[in-house]
Structure 1
């Protein structure tokens, strides 16, 4: 598995050279890459600092993070976007109310035994590192051997419980070796024994070439008009937090001319309701009438975008770095049939169960000595090499490092930058479209209690990197994308954009002009390659008022009758949601935290017949903090969207398994 290459003249350990202290930065950099190459590409270069190209272990300099936030501060604009239909306030990544939360995660534990792995590998072999045997008390006089056990996801599902249908696994017979072994499988677990006792285990993930099985007839292999399409998600990172925590990755993308969607607005609370519009083009609550009838537990019948690409002749891949928090597996059943050609859940679930290390709140960060996010990045890179002569559509999602903590993405920055640089050096970016994005910003914690934190939660980042040939060939589409980068956009628009990438004829200049005459104003999703109307509002874009960042607001006195009535109604709504679950305690208002009246649209209240209030309350038992947008008409109060929870609930809702109601339930 991967190691950490450390080049320094200060005796830090790792790959060193006695003369390194006198080397120039250029020579140090060259030696670092040579070291990584000599060992079969198995080294992971964590970070190169800006001025010395020296890697420091476990400190801020390692990740290029500066304590001087004022030095990094960029001038903010008055508006993030300003169109006829939507004005979003300007945001500063280092706003005075935000910078106190931006801290390097020094207390985070690193993965164990990083430099003491007993086994190493390249793309074809696994071998024993003799020099590390003493670390595991293995001596020369002991009987030592390792067991190579490949495993896979069996095609049959007989006698498997519905809840575990996506977690099924089958191991092959053990193949013994004591020095090295050739790799012939995709998923491998190796167990090593000394005098008959298990001493060590390690999981290995490979990307072998598979026979192409198309559902359609359109073979595109060798077609220069087709591009690889790779979507890479980083969970729970706002656009501002991406700027703060992953500046190296951002700078690489900027240097390559990527397009950043600054007006990208989420359409749901957490990951799932924002991925369903992206991958299916529908709302979460439309699943039950589209592909998830009441007696259908799995997602097998859902028309995901990867099916389009599969029918068009692409290899497809789906991978996340967490099974516990997987988008289709967290309190859900997942897939019965294997959804894509390359499906990572089988491996991640087994590795997380058998070798997950460093549990940090919700996630295991490490697969033994290696970060799970790095496992995912390495796998994507391996796929790009394996399928270089074919076309790939891949959807990948990082969860473990970013899901729970605002600043943990700092740990990943150098690795993502290096990943993209490797793709650049291999010329893979010349025929590949990369979409690097998130689903939402941080949904809880101290930052969420600030005005900017509330906006950041609703404004995740999206960066789209296009090859030079795309910009030159599809001029109108590219120009529209640049214009739309400062319009109000949503996951529904990304869905339509992916649809256009299946058949690029749709976005040729002539077809762009023809199709632009179509009536788009009230279409829920609009391809980013076509003009998005300047007068687009949240309502036109199918964004509930609760998530809309275009609306202005004015604070109300907490003693006002409107505030008291709105808070009481919010608590009634919470208890109504929980009414069928007797194991959940009835919630009582303990504190009215904030009430803001929202200015929605241009008509007066008398004309529209209602007023809207964003309300934040705290309830007992459990001290949950909830936020919702409530609409008051002349006859009733109604919810405008769903209810957000702004603090963590931990084990408070362990008695309920509905992923939505877990936010609200306090188990009695």
Structure 2
């Protein structure tokens, strides 16, 4: 059975609530197990309510905890009344183990281990692929003479015939087979290997490599000044889809501890600006709202993103290698009901590889995503690639945007599975001194957007408050002390993806953030500027309106619950259903929706005194509609003469196959096919 929930990237695709499958409270009992990692070094893993939980992958044993963090430790962190409190915005304090949340936090029992773990027929390093002869028995290979493997490199051909073809980003070309029966040296980026015994295929796997490519500048020699420049820093953005700030605390405590120990700055007031992945990545990568794409660089749904000025172009012009890497093809940020890129957007772009690996070696499709590439998790493929790419480009500068989708997208607690792997990667990057020359941004786009947790007050706020950590080297903190102090100041200010966009712009040319320039620029900040570099002081009086956050997503507003039988409630619910039907009106394959239940209504305390004087009020409304039992949430504004929608409409439950007759990533949330 395949289910789809409130779309990703426009499409956050499709997904279930994993953690809400049981209403049992998590008993906060802690066991401490010592797990051996890499045959010698030890880590402490805290387990709550579960024993004998471990997954073995790539000879790395990692345990996964039920609650994953000792809630009795550092309670003072959560004892404050407000997460942030400024003149312009107060966000109420949230505890990661609030009474309304604890019952959802548990080890994901339903998650499956990749098939044939520890039985792989092939292994590889950065230069070779070889046969694991000791595992031949698992494939009934008894005669060496009739066993061989076919090494087939493949690549993304450069020729582009139809730039608006829906398959343009999936094009692929394979080279001829090269046969081997023991080992083979690798000379390609993407490789598919199939092994045959007695002319029957017994094994297949894909292998991803990070060769050092010849640098091709997109700018002039004068522009390309950062290549090899020790004053420039690598900029690495590592995204984890659909993880709120507090869910990161709950599910990835070891990664969190690494970041805290190294002095990473956490943005406590980072507020999303759109519903799902796509409208939160466009402000980060382009500096504009997704609704502004039509008038800039993406005129229609049939277009590709080739004409959009993404931030990696800035870095490319300044002499950086660039990378755009996601671990999912089918629900990738630029490919879910979109055409992706006609031309290869960055120096390193693995969409072609992931698409082929999903198609031929994808295993365990857990709702939206294939979790495994045969015996290996796709998220681990991503992490291994990050490490290999940083090694390959250690003598050059890299801007990399790496986005994990497959494990975290659909389930509240699945990030527990990844915690040790992320911690190990960061420790290795640190041990190799790569982080000494790197600005690392670890972040998400939003919290989980559906299911039982989403029906709680804290769940609604968490969904709007993703996590962001910015880790800078000591040399950066010393040389750009004014900028770094502003970054720490802004950790308790209202911030958005628009601000991260401006911050990346400053990192292209570090002269922007030299101390004397920071002081000058800080005195000339316009309070109405939508995006403000985090190296400048974000104004204390900043409101959601000033930051470009629609009221529907704003976490600064307080609310007062109203009776669902009040006249305002009934009017607001009726108007919300009218808005839904207006969006679907021209799509005759979609049924007309009717109000089945007014689930909840809250009057929000927003607006200036003058606006309130003239009768301006806002309500957050949740309704259930028929047919389909869709649950929708929206903010509606009431004036003296009319109602209007303030922002977009969220869907809070799964839509499964109800909307399979429509291919618009936004309308899929609302359409019930006749």
Residue 635 (structure 1) aligned to one of 632, 635, 641? 641
CA distance in 2, matches of 1:579, 1:317: 41
Aligned-residue offset at 1:107: 1.9
Aligned-residue offset at 1:141: 5.8
CA distance in 2, matches of 1:310, 1:114: 39
Partner of 1:319 in structure 2? 325
Partner SS for 2:618: strand
Residue 160 (structure 2) aligned to one of 157, 160, 166? 157
Offset from partner CA, 1:404-463 (integer Å, 9 cap, x none):
100000000000000100001100000001000000000001000000000000000000
- For the pair 1:546 / 2:524, whether they are aligned, the reply is no
Residue 31 (structure 1) aligned to one of 20, 27, 39? 39
Offset from partner CA, 1:340-398 (integer Å, 9 cap, x none):
00001110011011110011011100010000000000000000000000000000100
Contact 1:617–1:627, Cα closer than 8 Å, also in 2: yes
CA distance in 1, matches of 2:162, 2:67: 56
Partner of 1:276 in structure 2? 282
Partner of 2:14 in structure 1? none
Contact 1:520–1:533, Cα closer than 8 Å, also in 2: no
CA distance in 2, matches of 1:520, 1:317: 33
1:391-430 superposed matches below 5 A? 391-430=397-436
Partner of 2:651 in structure 1? 645
**1:83–1:141 CA distance, 2 compared to 1 (3 A):** closer
- For the pair 1:110 / 2:113, whether they are aligned, the reply is yes
Aligned-residue offset at 1:610: 1.0
Partner of 1:335 in structure 2? 341
Residue 483 (structure 2) aligned to one of 477, 481, 485? 477
CA distance in 1, matches of 2:525, 2:484: 20
CA distance in 1, matches of 2:378, 2:597: 40
CA distance in 1, matches of 2:373, 2:355: 11
CA distance in 2, matches of 1:609, 1:403: 41
Structure-2-length-normalised TM-score: 0.91
- For the pair 1:227 / 2:224, whether they are aligned, the reply is no
CA distance in 2, matches of 1:247, 1:150: 39
CA distance in 1, matches of 2:367, 2:67: 26
Partner of 2:45 in structure 1? 49
Partner of 2:141 in structure 1? 138
CA distance in 2, matches of 1:374, 1:271: 21
CA distance in 1, matches of 2:367, 2:496: 30
Task: List alignment gaps of at least 5 residues for structure 1.
Answer: 1-23, 34-44
How many residue pairs align between the two structures?
630
Aligned-residue offset at 1:604: 5.6
**1:447–1:582 CA distance, 2 compared to 1 (3 A):** same
**1:657–1:604 CA distance, 2 compared to 1 (3 A):** same
Residue 120 (structure 1) aligned to one of 119, 123, 138? 123
Partner of 1:266 in structure 2? 272
Contact 1:589–1:619, Cα closer than 8 Å, also in 2: yes
- For the pair 1:176 / 2:179, whether they are aligned, the reply is yes
- For the pair 1:95 / 2:98, whether they are aligned, the reply is yes
Aligned-residue offset at 1:64: 4.3
Contact 1:261–1:484, Cα closer than 8 Å, also in 2: yes
Contact 1:73–1:94, Cα closer than 8 Å, also in 2: no
Partner SS for 1:655: coil
CA distance in 1, matches of 2:196, 2:318: 48
CA distance in 1, matches of 2:44, 2:372: 22
- For the pair 1:556 / 2:556, whether they are aligned, the reply is no
Question: Which of the pair has the greater relative contact order for Cα pairs under 8 Å at 6+ separation?
Answer: 2
Partner SS for 1:198: strand
Aligned-residue offset at 1:294: 3.7
Structure-1-length-normalised TM-score: 0.92
Task: List alignment gaps of at least 5 residues for structure 2.
Answer: 1-32
Contact 1:73–1:93, Cα closer than 8 Å, also in 2: no
Contact 2:194–2:204, Cα closer than 8 Å, also in 1: yes
Residue 217 (structure 2) aligned to one of 214, 218, 221? 214
CA distance in 1, matches of 2:471, 2:198: 54
Aligned-residue offset at 1:56: 5.4
CA distance in 2, matches of 1:64, 1:426: 29
Partner SS for 1:419: helix
- CA-based RMSD of the aligned residues comes to 2.0
Partner of 1:459 in structure 2? 465
CA distance in 1, matches of 2:110, 2:388: 32
Residue 581 (structure 1) aligned to one of 583, 587, 591? 587
